[in-house]
Amino acid sequence: MLMNLSEYHRSLIKKVKDIAERISIRNRDVDETSEFPWDIFQIFTENHILDLPIPREFGGGDADSFTCCLILEEIARFSPSSAHMIGGHWLGFTPLKLFCNKSQKEKYFPRLRSSLSAFSLTEPSAGSDVGGIITNAVRKGINYILNGTKIYCTQGHVANVITVFAKTNPEMGMKGLSTFIIENGFPGFSVGKIEDQMGMRGTPAAELILQDCLVPVENLLGKEGDGFNIAMQTLDRTRPKDAAISVGIAQGTLDYVLNYGKEELFMAEPIIKSQAVQFLLADMAMSIEAARLLVHKAAFLIDEERVSSKHSAMAKCFATDMAMRATDHAIDIMGAAGVSREHPIEMFMRDAKLLQILEGTNQIQRLVISRSLLS
Amino acid sequence: MQSELTNTQRDIQKAAREFAEKEFDLDLALELDKEARFPVSIFEKACRLGFVGIEYPEEYGGQSFGLFENVLVTQEFCKRDSGIGISISLADIASGILFRHGDENQKKNFLTPVIQGKAISTVATINSSNGSEKSTIPSIVEEYPDELVLNGETPFVINGSIASYIVVFCKSKNNKLISLIVERNQEGVENLGLQRMMGLRMSSISKIRFDHVRIRKDHWIGEESEGTEHLRCYLIERRIKTSSQALGIAQGAFDLALKHSKQREQFGKKICQFQGVQFMLAELYTLIEAAGALVYQAARSYDSQSSDMEKISSVAKLFTTDVAVKIIIDSIQIHGGVGLMREYSIERMLRDTKTIKNLEETILIQKALIAGEIL
């Protein structure tokens, strides 16, 4: 495991930090309007952040999971919702990276350097339970015809390419699940409701409506029936990224409170002189460090081709719970300023809450962990 | 929490519950939260039916009950809707000061109109959310036998944009704390605008400036030396009322989570059939019972003016607001994705509770007060 960052990582982090600080001035506006920040997307594209995990042969940055986690943490320190945009894109790209055949790669990888992808698994009846998916795909000649409604697809309304899970064989349960590469321009594809959500408001979740949606046979990812495996392989690799965003949120919160606490007073002394506050800050710093190491370990295992569902779930669950606690305590330290929208921490707390739920609720993560302990 | 109530108290509780269920429109609440508007007509109706100012004597328009009955009403109101419930509970925020320390004319002219729903009051006090001495308190700049001239600024004034009068705590020329009634339309009273907060958006938190405001003798409350005592009593009352709001909201969130867990099916079962969810519910229920017992005890201490009311009010606020936030965070968790969406009131419950927890005295202050009492 990397305990010392390489020169490459250090310079990349510095570059990303500059960008993240610059885009963070848009945080409040994006939070208020919940409009997708295309300007920030543009900055990420131009600076080759969006394309980091895309293989070099297709013009990408060829970054491993560890590097991606470092980047997400750094962006989230300043702008969690912007980190979530990148995370959402990489989530959509991960199944493609793992399972695309040569011609699919050639068709989609270059374009995903500068356009968004998304991942669409959830349905009204299928949240934690992927087996509850109703959306079906029926093969007809050179196409599959998809029908159904997907929900809570992060940035599904602005993504160009979406990996969609549907049942090709409803009787087979999980084994009847398949994955399709769907472009937003395919006939029968439309965006339904865009959610007005609590946090991560720059990257809202969208409802996707598939009504006799025509998907060419060559856009099947893997084979029919591979869907469940594709979903799980993907989530094992992306959960550390949500964890990294959480670490960034908590670190950004700690940085902010430390700075704030030098100026503001508690019982006639600077807040940070109060032992009660010092202890809270110490707890925050400890748990951030622990979460970060867990993220790095999970990412390291992925990069070593020793993917561990358990470690990915532990990182996600621990780090997201930790970020929730850190932001919660930070507000309590700051008092009225903490709940004022003139400071970013109340927004960070709302952003953190989403991460405890998406990509598998933390209850599901605990299930994954305990199963692996008992198996 | 039920067994100890008298029949009359049960009737009050039931009437408040029925009123809230009938009158608090949840779509309207969503809109009021978004647009930062006060629920005027619901407030007026609640006043007509005697819910507001229930603890004040009939001669002033009240029902001659105690703070305990106010707590029952507030709890029911906030259980149904956090925003409407809190904003109605806060509309008469200055009433206690006037009732305890005002003269007959002041009670008639300022207390009664609020109980009748014809006015809304507010209090401008030291921004003591963290006992910060840096924050300014308005002060008397000129003193005459019949008139005082007030200067200064107070941030985070609840009802700042809608109150018709403000009870201002300010410093006299002798550096003593005094309380005065300032009418909103007086020359020199300026609303510096809405302060955007995480929650509590129906109560128009604003910054108010006093620029050479002339205050006649009939608007002075009590004697110059009494201000500190006025503030002490006010804060005790505020802590208990804030606790009852937090208790009600926590119950509301828990009720929604319980209901959801009995309806939502995943993996072929209601999610309440999973032990992981059951134990969460059991823990939250336990916290609500404990918080309820504390809040009721605090209200009874206040009504009997027992010697421990100051301490118990801090204990109640510390515990109740803290566990309420936890209860709501976990209730959102039980909901999964739907709990994050603004159209569903539970995310607003978190924003509102986090705000009442921190807007006035923080939990750090409460801990310092409790430590001082027990040492």
Do residue B239 and residue B363 come from a single domain? yes
Q: Which of B195, B329, B343 sits opposite A340 (nearest CB)?
A: B195
The CA distance from B81 to the nearest CA of chain A, in Å, is 17
Chain A residues whose CB is inside 8 A of the B195 CB are 340, 342
Tell me the average pLDDT across B60-85: 98
Nearest of A234, A333, A151, A256 to residue B363 by alpha carbon: A333
Tell me the average pLDDT across B11-37: 97
Per-residue pLDDT of A231-255, as tens digits, reads 999 999 999 999 999 999 999 999 9
Query: Would you say B81 and B32 are in contact if contact means Cβ atoms under 8 Å apart?
Result: no
What's the pLDDT score for residue A265?
A: 76
The CA distance from B129 to the nearest CA of chain A, in Å, is 5
Nearest of B25, B278, B260 to residue A363 by alpha carbon: B278
Do residue B90 and residue B125 come from a single domain? no
Per-residue pLDDT of B297-340, as tens digits, reads 999 999 999 999 999 999 999 999 999 999 999 999 999 999 99
- Here the tokens at position A281 are 């800050």
Kindly give the residue spans of alpha helices, DSSP state H, lying in B215-362. Answer: 227-263, 275-303, 309-335, 346-359
Boundary (domain end) residue, out of B115, B149, B170: B115
Class of domain A117-225: mainly beta
DSSP assignment letter at A183: E
- Chain-centre distance of CA A345, in angstroms? 20
Tell me the average pLDDT across B185-208: 95
Q: Which helix (H) or strand (E) element contains residue B20?
A: helix B7-23
Residue B225 — pLDDT band, cuts 50, 70, 90? confident
- Here the tokens at position B92 are 């008469």
Chain A residues whose CB is inside 8 A of the B329 CB are 324, 328, 353
Instruction: Answer whether A330 touches B (CB < 8 Å).
Output: no
Tell me which of A34, A125, A272, A332 to substitute to probe the interface with B (most B C-beta atoms closer than 10 Å). A332
Those residues whose C-beta lies under 8 Å from the C-beta of residue B205, and which sit 6 or more positions away, are B156, B157, B158, B160, B194, B195, B197, B359
Instruction: Match domain A229-374 to its CATH number in 3.20.130.10, 1.20.140.10, 3.80.10.10, 1.10.3720.10.
Output: 1.20.140.10
What's the pLDDT score for residue B304?
A: 98
Nearest of A260, A273, A265, A255 to residue A326 by alpha carbon: A255
Do residue B104 and residue B125 come from a single domain? no
User: How far is A338 from A345, CA to CA, in rounded Å?
Assistant: 6
What's the pLDDT score for residue A2?
A: 64
Please judge whether B357 and A332 are an interchain contact, meaning their C-beta atoms are less than 8 angstroms apart. Answer: yes
Please judge whether A363 and B277 are an interchain contact, meaning their C-beta atoms are less than 8 angstroms apart. Answer: yes
Other CB atoms within 10 Å distance of the CB of residue A236: 21
Given a cut of 50, is residue A193 above it in pLDDT? yes
Q: How far is CA A36 from CA A24, A33, A134, A194, B362, in A?
A: 14, 9, 29, 11, 35
Please judge whether B333 and A271 are an interchain contact, meaning their C-beta atoms are less than 8 angstroms apart. Answer: no
Q: Chain B residue closest to A194 (CA)? A: B341
- Here the tokens at position B172 are 């006299």
Tell me which of B358, B366, B369 to substitute to probe the interface with A (most A C-beta atoms closer than 10 Å). B358
Do residue B137 and residue B212 come from a single domain? yes
Residue A293 — pLDDT band, cuts 50, 70, 90? very high
Do residue B254 and residue B358 come from a single domain? yes
Decide if B294 is inside a domain. yes
- Here the tokens at position A301 are 């295992």
Decide if B304 is inside a domain. yes
Given a cut of 80, is residue A268 above it in pLDDT? no
Chain B residues whose CB is inside 8 A of the A320 CB are none
Query: Would you say B236 and B309 are in contact if contact means Cβ atoms under 8 Å apart?
Result: yes
Please judge whether A334 and B267 are an interchain contact, meaning their C-beta atoms are less than 8 angstroms apart. Answer: no
User: How far is A203 from A86, CA to CA, in rounded Å?
Assistant: 10
Per-residue pLDDT of A94-132, as tens digits, reads 999 999 999 999 999 999 999 999 999 999 999 999 999
Given a cut of 80, is residue B14 above it in pLDDT? yes
Q: Which residues of B are catalytic?
A: 360
ipTM of this complex: 0.94
DSSP of B199-219, one letter per residue? Answer: S-GGG--EEEEEEEEEEEGGG
Per-residue pLDDT of A33-50, as tens digits, reads 999 999 999 999 999 999
Do residue B135 and residue B51 come from a single domain? no
User: How far is B269 from B262, CA to CA, in rounded Å?
Assistant: 9
User: How far is B10 from B12, CA to CA, in rounded Å?
Assistant: 5
Chain A residues whose CB is inside 8 A of the B332 CB are 353, 357
Nearest of B211, B121, B110 to residue B157 by alpha carbon: B121
User: How far is A93 from A113, CA to CA, in rounded Å?
Assistant: 10
Those residues whose C-beta lies under 8 Å from the C-beta of residue B27, and which sit 6 or more positions away, are none
User: How far is A344 from A29, CA to CA, in rounded Å?
Assistant: 12
Q: Which of B329, B339, B358 sits opposite A332 (nearest CB)?
A: B358
Q: Chain A residue closest to B322 (CA)? A: A332
Chain B residues whose CB is inside 8 A of the A268 CB are 131, 133
Please judge whether B357 and A328 are an interchain contact, meaning their C-beta atoms are less than 8 angstroms apart. Answer: no
**pLDDT exceeding 70 applies to what percent of chain A?**
99
What is the CA angle A364-A366-A367, rounded to 5?
Answer: 60
Tell me the average pLDDT across B247-252: 98
Given a cut of 80, is residue B132 above it in pLDDT? no
Do residue B232 and residue B363 come from a single domain? yes
What's the pLDDT score for residue A84?
A: 98
Q: 3-state class of B138 per DSSP?
A: coil
Block residue for tokens 């009748």: B116
| Mean pLDDT, rounded, of chain A | 96
The CATH number of whichever domain residue B231 belongs to comes to: 1.20.140.10
Other CB atoms within 10 Å distance of the CB of residue B45: 17
Do residue B172 and residue B238 come from a single domain? no
Decide if B96 is inside a domain. yes
Chain B residues whose CB is inside 8 A of the A276 CB are 364, 367-368
Count of all residues that appear for chain B in the document: 375
User: How far is A367 from B70, CA to CA, in rounded Å?
Assistant: 44
Query: Would you say A294 and A319 are in contact if contact means Cβ atoms under 8 Å apart?
Result: yes
Other CB atoms within 10 Å distance of the CB of residue B225: 12
Nearest of A177, A183, A138, A144 to residue A163 by alpha carbon: A183
Nearest of B280, B304, B199 to residue B246 by alpha carbon: B199
Handedness of CA B170, B171, B177, B182 (dihedral sign): negative
Q: Chain B residue closest to A126 (CA)? A: B266
DSSP of A44-86, one letter per residue? Answer: HHHTT-TTTTS-GGGTS----HHHHHHHHHHHHHH-HHHHHHH
Q: Which residue has the higher pLDDT, B134 or B249?
A: B249
The CA distance from B333 to the nearest CA of chain A, in Å, is 7
Nearest of A123, A176, A188 to residue A150 by alpha carbon: A123
The CATH number of whichever domain residue B56 belongs to comes to: 1.10.540.10
The CA distance from A346 to the nearest CA of chain B, in Å, is 6
How buried is B263 (Cβ within 10 angstroms: 0-12 exposed, 13-18 middle, 19+ buried)?
exposed
Query: Would you say A5 and A13 are in contact if contact means Cβ atoms under 8 Å apart?
Result: yes
Do residue B232 and residue B370 come from a single domain? yes
Class of domain A7-113: mainly alpha
User: How far is B101 from B233, CA to CA, in rounded Å?
Assistant: 10
- Chain-centre distance of CA A158, in angstroms? 15
Tell me which of A203, A340, A347 to substitute to probe the interface with B (most B C-beta atoms closer than 10 Å). A340
Q: What is the dihedral of CA B14, B18, B20, B24, to 10 degrees?
A: 170
Q: Chain B residue closest to A265 (CA)? A: B132
Chain A residues whose CB is inside 8 A of the B362 CB are 332-333, 335
Residues of B with CB under 8 A from a CB of A: 127, 129-134, 155-156, 195-200, 265-267, 276-277, 325, 329, 332-333, 336-337, 339-343, 347, 350-351, 354-355, 357-360, 362-364, 367-368
Cβ within 8 Å of B, A 186-225:
195-199, 205
Please judge whether B196 and A341 are an interchain contact, meaning their C-beta atoms are less than 8 angstroms apart. Answer: yes
Q: Which of B132, B329, B333 sits opposite A266 (nearest CB)?
A: B132
User: How far is A375 from B2, CA to CA, in rounded Å?
Assistant: 46
Do residue B73 and residue B128 come from a single domain? no
Q: Chain A residue closest to B280 (CA)? A: A363
| Mean pLDDT, rounded, of chain B | 95
Do residue B274 and residue B192 come from a single domain? no
User: How far is A213 from A227, CA to CA, in rounded Å?
Assistant: 18
- Here the tokens at position A193 are 């409701």
Q: Which of B155, B266, B357 sits opposite A128 (nearest CB)?
A: B266
Task: Kindly report the pTM of this predicted structure.
Answer: 0.96
The boundaries of the domain holding residue B110 are: 7-115
Do residue B218 and residue B265 come from a single domain? no
Chain A residues whose CB is inside 8 A of the B261 CB are none
What's the pLDDT score for residue A173?
A: 87
User: How far is B322 from B295, CA to CA, in rounded Å?
Assistant: 13
DSSP assignment letter at B60: G
User: How far is A297 from B13, CA to CA, in rounded Å?
Assistant: 54
Query: Would you say A124 and A188 are in contact if contact means Cβ atoms under 8 Å apart?
Result: no
Provide the residue ranges of all domains of chain A, joining segments of one domain with +: 7-113, 117-225, 229-374
Number of domains in chain B: 3
Given a cut of 50, is residue B133 above it in pLDDT? no
User: How far is B251 from B262, CA to CA, in rounded Å?
Assistant: 16
User: How far is A183 from A206, CA to CA, in rounded Å?
Assistant: 15
Decide if B1 is inside a domain. no
User: How far is A117 from A95, CA to CA, in rounded Å?
Assistant: 11
Q: Beta strands B147-157 and B189-194: pairing type?
A: unpaired
